[in-house]
Amino acid sequence: MTVPAEPAGDLPEAAVRRFADGAFTSGLTVPDFAACLQMGLEPVGFTQGYCVMQWQWYGMPQMGGGFGYQWGGVRGYSETFNCPHGMVSQEHRAWGQNYEQSWLEDAWASGFSTAYERMLDEAGAAGAHGIVGVVDTSAPLADMGVVEFRVQGTAVRVVDGPAPADGRPWSTYLAGQRLAKLVEAGYAPVSIAATVASVGLWANCVTQYQTEGTAGMFRTGNPGEEIVQTAKAHTAARRIATERIRGQLGPDSLHGASLRTTHRAQGEGDATIEAVLRGNRVRRFKDFDPMPAPRPTVRLL
Amino acid sequence: MTGPEPLGPDAGADSSDPKADMRSAADALAGPARNAGGARTTSDLSIDEELVLHSIGWEPVELVSGVSIHAVPVGVWNWGQGEIGYASAAYARSFAAAVDRLHQACTHAGGHGVVGVHVEWAVERHHIEVTLVGTAVRPVGSTGIGTDPVFVSDLSGRDFALLHTAGWAPLGLAAGASFVYAPRRSMGATMKQSGQNVELTNFTEAMYAAREAAMERMQAAALALGGTGVVEVKVTEGPMEFARHAVGFTAYGTVVRLVADEHRHVGARMVLPLDDAQVGFDAASLRGG
């Protein structure tokens, strides 16, 4: 293992010392470790990146005006839902909107990518070519409104292999046999990919009544009406997440993705919908090697 | 002193060279980004599923989803008699709309069907919600829309390949649900049954009604798709969390049909795994415990 004499500036001193000490550390299980060696990957060290962010759901930039006005300083998806009743009253929600909460997405992206870049710096300084078995989590820390982003993984070198382009290590959520199969199938791991789409739902009267079950007085006589605004907000959150990831992929593909969506109800039909999409960005480096049809087996025990 | 004999390579193992593969991958990553061929895809399949799909000539295209939420007004779950038609209809419509949206997303992506669909649904007091997320797939290299209707299936890539090998094809998801009031007992019945452990026929009958209606709806949906049957049916049953006097039964599964001339026997080979049933070490097992 080689350690550059002048490590990248941002690294903790202790981390530099730890990597220089010779023995490797890794987060791999023994089977994963064995699979790495079998592929010619040599573990360098367990690398980590962290970033603690201030996190406020309502930290929206100044809005441009009163209701009925497009949010100021907010970009991306927005859709307005007007009241079909023609009622004017203080209580009646004559106007509703679905809007992408870009300030939240930016905060998430900033926290995640800062932690990720720190992990890459650590791995790069240790002379690694790639990082396998990446785990990323985020958890509230200390108080409401403080979130820590954590990205951890095992840095590896490709024995006798070339350094990656720009010296930036590649990364993947996979390790062990799954990674070996991926590579054998003709995919090279490029990086982990993750994004969050956050859509705020400011309910109009119809959505409020439908969500609270009080739409009866305004019912059109058609049973089983869809809550259109909420369904559209959910669809939009997923669409934004997949489109953004696709925009980051370049010529590559997304493999082994997971799309998780949470709905935080905030009363009177209002809600925040958050879609988290994670996956492995992979690049085809050879044609898919078609596997012979596998032989089915039955276990006797 | 020599150590134990190294584990020998399995005689049946294939001749692939993982080190050479990894080196080629590293070479590709050392150069500028470019695609060595094949389509740009997004998928939530595992590598195993992707490999097994490829082995039968299919490939993933795109991660697709469909969502629908239908309202259930106040009063629907209140005491009453017979089926809670409003709730049953809301479930059916949510499922149908979510499937419809998944179809559209799949067609838009150039897929011929969607496999490995994660079905998430919720019956709440004031709404019923269905979310479907899966990977659109197509025969390797095919472009444009397939000749067969788009299928949606919650079977995994492995199950899809196994069905295919056996000569069957998935056609779509079939779902059925029914919510029924368990009627109040009459004053006389309550008096007669008090203090005795006897059957509460009002609940038994309500559950029966819900089951029969839901199963019938699922079966009707399967027939409408031209299916022979439904596999991997998942059912839930029981009273509603928020209204214990209302019972519900839901069922969904993948509709399949025999497309080959006859069912093909997959000819599974029997294997006797020799690995320990118990992974952890347990001192008690040494003493025959």
Question: How buried is residue A50: exposed, middle or buried, by Cβ count under 10 Å (0-12/13-18/19+)?
Answer: middle
How far does CA B172 lie from the centroid of its chain? 11
What's the rounded Cα separation, in Å, for the pair A135 and A27? Answer: 10
Nearest CA to A15 among A46, A52, A42? A46
Residues A1 and A19: their CA atoms lie apart, in Å, by 9
Q: What is the pLDDT of residue B285?
A: 54
Secondary structure class of B199 (helix, strand, coil): coil
Q: What is the pLDDT of residues B65-108, one digit of tens each?
A: 999 999 988 888 888 888 998 899 999 999 999 999 999 999 99
Q: Which of A166, A168, A159, A182 is nearest to A280 (CA)?
A: A182
Q: Tell whether ipTM is more than 0.95.
A: no
Residue B241 in 3-state DSSP?
Answer: coil
Q: What angle do CA B25, A133, A176 make, to 5 degrees?
A: 65
Flag whether residue B279 sits within 8 Å of chain A, measured between CB atoms. Answer: no
Q: Quick check: A73 contacting B, CB < 8 Å? A: no
Residues of B in contact with A285 (CB under 8 A): 24-25, 27-28, 36
By the 8 A CB rule, do B256 and B231 touch? yes
Please give the pLDDT value at position A17.
75
**Under CATH, what is the fold of the domain A35-57+78-85+92-284?**
Translation Initiation Factor IF3 (3.30.110)
Mean pLDDT per 10-residue segment, chain B (289 residues): 49 66 90 72 91 90 95 85 90 95 94 95 92 95 81 93 92 96 87 88 92 96 95 94 92 95 87 68 56
Q: pTM, whole model, 2 decimals?
A: 0.85
Judge: B25–A189 Cβ closer than 8 Å, yes or no.
yes
Q: Which of residues 253-272 of B touch A (CB under 8 A)?
A: 266-272
Q: What angle do CA A224, B225, B83 make, to 5 degrees?
A: 35
Which of B56, B71, B277 lies nearest to residue A215, judging by beta carbons? Answer: B71
Instruction: Report chain B residues whose CB lies below 8 A from the CB of A227.
Output: 69-71, 127
B7, B15, B42, B58: best mutation site toward chain A, by most A Cβ within 10 Å?
B42
DSSP state of B151: E
The CA-based diameter of chain A, rounded to the nearest angstrom, is 77
HEC letters along chain A:
CCCCCCCCCCCCHHHHHHHHCCCCCCCCCHHHHHHHHHCCEEEEEEEEEEEEEECCCCCCCCCCCCCCCCCCCCCCCEEEEECCCCCCCCCCCCEEEEEECHHHHHHHHHHHHHHHHHHHHHHHHCCCCEEEEEEEEEEECCCCCEEEEEEEEEEEEECCCCCCHHHCCEECCCCHHHHHHHHHCCEEEEEEEEEEEEEEEECCHHHHHHHHCCHHHHCCCCCCCECHHHHHHHHHHHHHHHHHHHHHHCCCEEEEEEEEEEEEECCCCCEEEEEEEEEEEEEECCCCCCCCCCCCEEECC
Domains of chain B: 39-258 (3.30.110.70)
Q: By the CB < 8 Å criterion, does B28 face chain A?
A: yes
Chain A (135-164) residues lying within 8 Å, Cβ to Cβ, of chain B: 158-164
- pLDDT, residue A93, reads 84
Of the partner residues A162, A230, A291, the one whose CB lies closest to the CB of residue B51 = A291
Least CB–CB distance from A249: residue in B38, B40, B162:
B40
Q: What is the pLDDT of residue A73?
A: 53
pLDDT at B134: 96
Look at B33 and A283 and tell me if their CB atoms are within 8 Å. Answer: yes
- Is the CB of residue B235 less than 8 Å away from at least one CB of chain A? no
From A145's Cα to the closest Cα of chain B, the distance in A is 30
| Tens-level pLDDT at each residue, chain A (301 residues) | 444 445 556 777 777 777 776 677 888 888 888 889 999 999 999 999 999 998 776 655 544 433 433 444 567 899 998 888 777 777 788 888 999 998 889 989 999 999 999 999 999 998 999 999 999 988 888 777 888 999 999 999 999 999 888 889 999 999 888 899 999 888 999 999 999 999 999 998 888 888 888 765 555 445 568 999 999 999 999 999 999 999 999 889 999 999 999 999 988 889 999 999 999 999 998 887 667 777 888 888 6
Q: Which of B94, B69, B82 is nearest to B175 (CA)?
A: B94
Task: Give the number of C-alpha atoms closer than 13 A to the C-alpha of residue B142, restricted to the C-beta side.
Answer: 20
Q: Which pLDDT belongs to residue A69?
A: 39
Q: Does the beta carbon of B13 lie under 8 angstroms from any beta carbon of chain A?
A: no
Which of B43, B63, B164, B264 to substitute to test the interface with A, most A CBs within 10 Å? B63
Question: For residue B247, which amino acid is it?
Answer: V
Contact yes or no for A259 and B133 at CB 8 A: yes
Contacts A–B by Cβ distance under 8 A:
241
Nearest chain B residue to A160 by CA distance is B23
Instruction: Please report how the helices B18-30 and A176-184 are oriented relative to each other, as an axis angle in degrees rounded to 10.
Output: 70
Length of chain B equals: 289
* Cβ <8 Å between A285 and B28: yes
Chain B contact set for A265 (CB, 8 A):
none
Dump strand ranges (E) for chain B: 58-71, 113-123, 127-139, 151-152, 168-181, 229-240, 243-258, 269-271
* Confidence at residue B116, expressed as pLDDT on a 0 to 100 scale: 94
* Residue B144 CB burial class (10 angstroms; 0-12, 13-18, ≥19): exposed
Beta pairing class for A78-82 and A95-100? antiparallel
Which residue from B24, B67, B131 is facing A285, i.e. has the nearest CB?
Answer: B24
CB of A180 within 8 Å of any CB in chain B?
yes
Q: Is A244 on the interface with B (CB under 8 A)?
A: no
Query: Which residues in chain B have their CB less than 8 angstroms from residue A190's CB?
Result: 29, 33
Q: B136: helix, coil or strand?
A: strand
* HSE of A210, CA atoms in CB hemisphere, 13 A: 25
**Cβ contact, residue pair A183, B34, below 8 Å:** no
Radius of gyration from C-alpha coordinates of chain A: 24
The dihedral formed by the CA atoms of B146, B152, B157 and B159, expressed in degrees to the nearest 10: -110
Closest CA to A242 of B108, B151, B172: B108
Structure tokens at B264: 């093909």
The CA distance from A206 to the nearest CA of chain B, in Å, is 11
Token pair in block for residue A119: 């992990």
Under an 8 A CB cutoff, do A162 and B42 touch? no
Q: Which residues contact A90 (CB under 8 A, 6 or more apart)?
A: none
The answer to whether the beta carbons of residues A270 and B242 sit under 8 Å apart is no
- Within 13 Å and on the Cβ side, how many CA atoms surround A216? 10
Residue in A178, A257, A261 nearest the CB of B42:
A257
Structure tokens of A48? 């980590």
A80 vs chain B: nearest CA distance in angstroms?
19
Look at residue B135 and give its three-state secondary structure: strand
Long-range contacts of B273-278 (CB under 8 A, 24+ apart): B273/A299, B273/A300, B273/A301, B277/A301
Is B73 an 8 Å CB contact of chain A? yes
Contact A259 B36 (CB under 8 A): no
In chain A, what residues touch B67 (CB-CB under 8 Å)? 231, 234-235, 238
What kind and span of H or E run contains B1? none
**Nearest residue on chain B to A234, alpha-carbon basis:** B67
